[in-house]
Structure 1
Amino acid sequence: MSPASYQVPAPLGKILSRLPAYPGSVLFAAGLNLALARHLPADTLRLLDGRKLRIQVRDAGVAFDFIWRDGSFSAARHGDDIALTISASAHDFFLVAQRKEDPDTLFFSRRLVMEGDTELGLLVKNTLDAIDLSVFSPGNFLAAHLPGRAARAGKSSNMVD
């Protein structure tokens, strides 16, 4: 099976689609706060403020609704007032996150779909494209999230000569 055709197996997608949406959105928002929020520019956060976004993983049958409000991402209940929905397969999201696939290529091949506020979609895409991926390396991540000595130990243990 080629990477472009990889899909979450249908039986697993069927099970995942039956899970309640809100707990997944809570975990997703917590992950965004932990890994991403500190790297987003203040002007972007101002434009995101109060706007409900949805990430929909089509083949897994799940969607995560979240909002930037009061200085952090938080889960939002599923509803119709979504400003922007970004949907793709789990594998395509994974490829975009690793920068092994360009979101524009996926968009024009209809593997990534944006619905709603187009301007907001471009803001999100361009903001994520501008983030230096090295901030997500294990050493840098530990240094940013662990206090003092533990952070230094984590950072030094991930160095390769």
Structure 2
Amino acid sequence: MNRMNGMTKAGSNAGKVLPPMVAQLMGMLPAYPGSLLFVTALNVAIAKHMPQDVRQSLSGKKLRIRVKDAGVEFDFEWREQRFAACRKGDGSDLTIAANGHDFVLLAQRQEDPDTLFFSRRLSMEGDTELGLMVKNTLDAIDLSAFNLKRLVRARLESIFRV
């Protein structure tokens, strides 16, 4: 059994989902503020790491992240030099769906997107070429870009600079 940071790979994490009551409460939240918070995190964590050709390819493309067990979706697109939230219902060029736990494992690089995809824990609908570009771009970004402590510290330092 492969272990990383006390967690086992694929098999034992497959069934981790939010409790139904939590999922029901999260599903009742309005969509747009969640998307706004989500793109704020994307802009802080990865926007500056994206190559120019990826920025051009993403321009005007609508993306949706669906957290299945939470009943929430984040709709966004790339506009000029940043991610921007979109109102739900505009449709999407690409929808990526998984349970919240699996998205966390992906962000922490404790699980491989291909493994999740082929085990049907991660799904993609829409423009598969766009999906492959997103996957490859995220794979190429330095893991430290997703270090929450570092991001919060840097943000606080920028706010409180004299």
| Normalised-by-shorter TM-score class | 0.7 to 0.9
1:59 alignment partner, SS class: coil
Counterpart of 1:21? 31
Question: Are 2:32 and 1:10 aligned?
Answer: no
Q: Which residue identity does 2:140 align to in structure 1? A: A
Cα shift at 1:17: 0.7
C-alpha separation between the residues in 2 aligned to 1:66 and 1:11? Answer: 27
Partners of 1:132 and 1:116 in 2: CA distance = 27
Q: Which residue is 2:157 aligned to?
A: 146
Structure 1 residues 144, 26: closer, same or farther in 2, change over 3 A? closer
CA distance in 1, matches of 2:60, 2:14: 35
Q: For 2:78, which of 52, 65, 68 is the aligned residue?
A: 68
- Deviation (angstroms), 1:71: 1.2
Which residue of 2 is the match for residue 111 of structure 1? 121
- Cα contact 2:44–2:151 (8 A) shared by 1: no
Q: Does 2:67 align with 1:53? A: no
Tell me, yes or no, if the aligned pair for 1:25 and 1:66 is still in contact at 8 Å. yes
RMSD: 2.0
**Cα pair distance change 1:14/1:129, threshold 3 Å:** same
* Larger Rg computed on CA atoms: 1
**Equivalent pair of 1:135/1:141 in contact (CA under 8 Å):** no
SS in 1 for 2:69: helix
Structure 1 portions without partners, runs of 5+: 151-161
- Which segments of 5 or more consecutive residues in structure 2 lack a partner in the other structure? 1-11
Q: Which moved more, 1:99-108 or 1:132-141?
A: 132-141
How many equivalent residue pairs?
149
Report the structure, 1 or 2, having the larger helix content.
1
Measure, in 1, the Cα distance between the counterparts of 2:129 and 2:98: 19
Does residue 85 in structure 1 map to residue 101 in structure 2? no
Residue 38 (structure 1) aligned to one of 25, 44, 48:
48
TM-score by length of 1: 0.85
8 Å Cα contact 2:67/2:100 also seen in 1: yes
Higher relative contact order (CA 8 A, sep 6+): 2
Q: CA deviation at 1:33?
A: 0.7
Provide Cα deviations, 1:115-146, integer angstroms capped at 9, x if missing partner: 00000000000000111112344447745873
